[in-house]
Amino acid sequence: MDVGKVDKLRIYVLAEDYAGYNSPFLAQHGISFLIEVKFNGNRRRVLFDVGSYAEPLLFNMKLLSIDPKNIDMIVLSHSHFDHTGGLLGIMKEIGKEIPIFAHPNIFKVSFATEPEFTYAGIPPLRGGSKEEIEKLGGVWVLSRDPIRLMP
């Protein structure tokens, strides 16, 4: 598959387990990246995963002068809470209709068995239900196959 050529690619780490000593940034368990792609005079901002909580992401975005309202799409790698827990809070800040790309199993109930039996999927209170996300403008694009995110 030809993925085309980009003029510029920038990746911002918005959430990670370690923010550095004496860093102004907040860390959290989980991961989130903002991927900014420039091509043919166009720019797209892709939020890849949303960490465990929205608050540290939003704090770090502010430090980086990133406006959540300028995010064009969200990609969720999988359902675990440390990749999806911030979804509801992020959607509240984005405040517009936006595609959310994910595997159809994103809402499948999942559990961790070690070190103890615990729920490991999208946190209902933090991540929001499918319907809550849709009310905030989330448009689910669910696919088992690769999807071209931009022309």
- pLDDT per residue over 38-57, tens digit each? 988 899 999 999 999 999 99
Per the confidence metrics, is the pTM higher than 0.75? yes
Quote the pLDDT of residue 54.
Answer: 95
CB 19, CB 92: distance < 8 Å:
no
Tokens of 86: 């911030």
Residue 3 has pLDDT above 70, yes or no: no
- Domain 8-142 = CATH 3.40.50.720: no
- pLDDT per residue over 49-102, tens digit each? 999 999 999 999 999 999 999 999 999 999 888 999 999 999 999 999 999 999
Cα–Cα distances in Å, from 83 out to 6, 41, 70, 108?
26, 31, 20, 14
